[in-house]
Amino acid sequence: MRVCFFGTFEEDYPRNQILLKALQIAGYETVLIHHDIWRNKIHKTHIIRRVWGLILIALKLLLIYPWLIIRYLCAPKHAVVLVGYPGHLDTVIIKWFAALKRTPVLWDAFISLYDSAIDDRKLVRTKSLTSHALFALDRLACQSADKIILDTDGHIRYFSSAHRIPLSKFVRIYAGAEDDLFLPSKAGSAANDKPYFRILFVGKFTPLHGIQTIIAAAEILKSDRDMMFDLVGTGQLFSEIQNMVNEKKMENVSLPGWVPYRALPDLIQNCDVCLGIFSDSPKLNRVIPNKIFQALATKKPVVTAETDAVKELLRPGKDVLTVPPQNPEALAQLLTELKKHKKLRDQTAESGYNTFHQHADLLKISEELQRTIREMVFL
């Protein structure tokens, strides 16, 4: 069976790489019709804050879409069009041309533009023209797709309610991780004589992640000179966090900035505990971020806020260790306990690793994707 992977999506984004690999594992031939307009744009949502940024993207799309559409119309026969992330406008555009070939469109929505830009990151005013446009694009893309992939049941309920789309139109496929890249450390390779107990956060510094909670926990623990918090990434709140760390003279926090994606497995392997997300954003209950799947695949213990989304996949206290959102005291206490008890770290890591492979590794995602495609083609 042949699948057309279409769009202007970010090719190197983990979710898109996971879907490409899942198609390969399923044995599908993939026709890639693609132009990456997001290359080297780490913080895509910031573009909407600047008029010139929107104009530049619009001009790029005007130039690119005719060429992509010509390529699509000349493409060999295929069973399904799969649109990668971000692909909201791609889905709206390709629907008309896929209909000419009587081919269904499967859209990996992954996020709501409105939810991310307005409710989560607060980059745009709620009543602004831009916010209305983003909401309309979310809805139009949902209406254009024949089937929509989202990463959690909570995310599905949000989309269904916000855009009046039947639940039957959605399919849950976890975000997952590239478990051919994110691998556990080889026996004996993780040295026990490390100078610090390393606590790792990886991600974009956006409100969702609750990095202020991590900083507050680090401040509580700064008298413990054996603990080091490595906060890897950049983003919306990076300058604020950097100033906070400098003003408080927090020597137990490092801010190395952004690192290449291929360097992440080594970073995770060399830490003792991985951190998830800790804000009190409503979005917290709808997402399980990439970093959690990557840590599970690498067989590291994960500490994160206890949320509905996390509990869809993981068992708190067994597969993952949780604290209430925005509670630095609870986080500091749990990290202290983990430092003291290696057995707890190892048991949590082992259980989380097993659950990941049962429900969210490349093979499982491939099976879910294959099932969805077959239902679209044969029903």
What CA–CA distance (Å, rounded) separates 357 from 374? 23
For the domain 197-359, what is the CATH code? 3.40.50.2000
96-134 per-position pLDDT tens digit: 999 999 999 999 999 998 888 887 777 777 888 888 888
Between the alpha carbon of residue 41 and those of residues 64, 111, 218, 345, 367, the distances in Å are 17, 17, 30, 36, 31
What CA–CA distance (Å, rounded) separates 162 from 139? 8
Between the alpha carbon of residue 115 and those of residues 128, 230, 286, the distances in Å are 14, 28, 11
Identical fold at 2-176+361-378 and 197-359?
A: yes
Between the alpha carbon of residue 26 and those of residues 22, 108, 371, the distances in Å are 6, 17, 10
Q: What are phi and psi of 244, to 5 degrees?
A: -60, -45
pTM: 0.92
Residue 188: pLDDT band (50, 70, 90) is: very low
Q: Among all chains, which residue has been given the structure tokens 């630095």?
A: 328
- Mean pLDDT across 164-185: 96
Nearest one of 189, 174, 162 to 268, comparing CA atoms: 189
What are the extents of the domains in the chain? 2-176+361-378, 197-359
* The CATH number of domain 2-176+361-378, selected from 3.40.50.720, 3.30.565.10, 3.40.50.2000, 3.10.20.30: 3.40.50.2000
247-272 per-position pLDDT tens digit: 999 999 999 999 999 999 999 999 99
21-42 per-position pLDDT tens digit: 999 999 999 999 999 887 765 5
